[in-house]
Amino acid sequence: MRALNHLVIEPFISGPRLAKYKSFFNSKSNVELFGCYLWNKDIVSAFFPIIQLVEVALRNAIHNHATSSLGRYWFDNLATKSISSLTFVQQGNVRYHGSALNSARNQIRQELNLAKHVTISADRIVAKMTFGFWTNLFRVPFEVNRNPQALWPALIRPVFPNLPRGHRGRVNIHTHIQAIQTFRNKAFHHEPVWNIGRPASVPNAINELHSQKELLIKVLKWLSKDAVKLAERSGYIANLNLVLSQDYLNHLQNPNDNEKALSVFKRELNSILKQDTIIVDLMKNNELIAKVYSSR
């Protein structure tokens, strides 16, 4: 039997953060409490590959089509709405665009020890830009009708070839991508993601997390059906479905309940394989030797 030594781990986690977990999950013991904490870690880990797919697909789609239509350094020559027609906040969106590019160039020069006069490739600059940069491109200033140097609305169809008719507006796209950025930032800054949407219960939290998964898959499909197939065939979605389950949370809260000796596992293998959700920790000589986790 294995037990989580919470006394060793506790100094590395803030008390207020653990208090949130204890209050919401109503943990009965420190083992259960840390299981909930580890659940959040596993959720973030399971979401990461799909978030990364969306980021890369979005970045490459914009860069490739903008390059074809506007030129290699398209980001330096974007048309925006007239500054006089923009609000103070919208003017800030334009300033952010320029400052983000300057910052990326400076970082690349420092990393590669390049002189100021050296031209940096467009591909290197694009790879350096944050998700916030790409989200910002869908704000009001960058939509200019009938302007050949503007991104939108001209490039909406090429960038999002699978976007359903009637949903091909910049505002709709920005709403979805902004929601993904909010979730991404929460996850990558080590904040609890199970409380997004302020759920009232654990089932509500799980449902909301599944909604976040569906949002990512929806936007990924807008960009590339092949990317969705990659997420499916790589097991990213199946793994996420497993982690976003009450069974998986129960396992982390009660880590000994799903242990099986290797000999027992071999004997029960046929019946185990018939289960929709499989969570087995294989033990040999009281040591964990493998994890057999699967969800249909």
Condensed to tens digits (0 to 9), the pLDDT of residues 229-266 reads: 999 999 999 999 999 999 999 999 998 888 999 899 99
* pLDDT, the chain, mean: 92
C-alpha span between 179 and 212 (Å, rounded): 9
How many C-beta atoms surround the C-beta of residue 249 within 10 A?
23
pLDDT band per the 50, 70, 90 thresholds, residue 203? very high
Task: Determine the straight-line distance between the first and last CA of the chain, rounded to whole angstroms.
Answer: 28
Distance of CA 102 to the CA centre of its chain: 26
pLDDT at 31: 85
In DSSP notation, 143-196 reads B-TT-TT--BTTTHHHH-TTPPTT---HHHHHHHHHHHHHHHHHHHTT--STTT
Of 70, 93, 97, nearest in space to 158 by CA: 70
pLDDT at 7: 47
Could you tell me the residue ranges of all domains in the chain? Answer: 30-236, 258-295
C-alpha span between 1 and 3 (Å, rounded): 7
pTM above 0.75, yes or no: yes
pLDDT at 29: 85
Mean predicted confidence (pLDDT) in 165-180: 95
pLDDT at 185: 95
pLDDT at 9: 52
Q: What is the pLDDT of residues 18-49, one digit of tens each?
A: 888 889 999 888 888 889 999 999 999 999 99
Q: Which amino acid is at 251?
A: H
Give the number of C-alpha atoms closer than 13 A to the C-alpha of residue 217, restricted to the C-beta side: 16
Q: What is the pLDDT of residues 84-110, one digit of tens each?
A: 999 999 999 999 999 999 999 999 999
Flag whether pLDDT at 1 surpasses 50: no
In DSSP notation, 198-226 reads --SSHHHHHHHHHHHHHHHHHHHHHH-HH
The beta-carbon contacts of 170-177 under 8 Å, at least 24 apart in sequence, are: 170/138, 170/143, 173/138, 173/222, 174/135, 174/138, 174/139, 176/215, 176/218, 176/219, 177/58, 177/134, 177/135, 177/138, 177/219
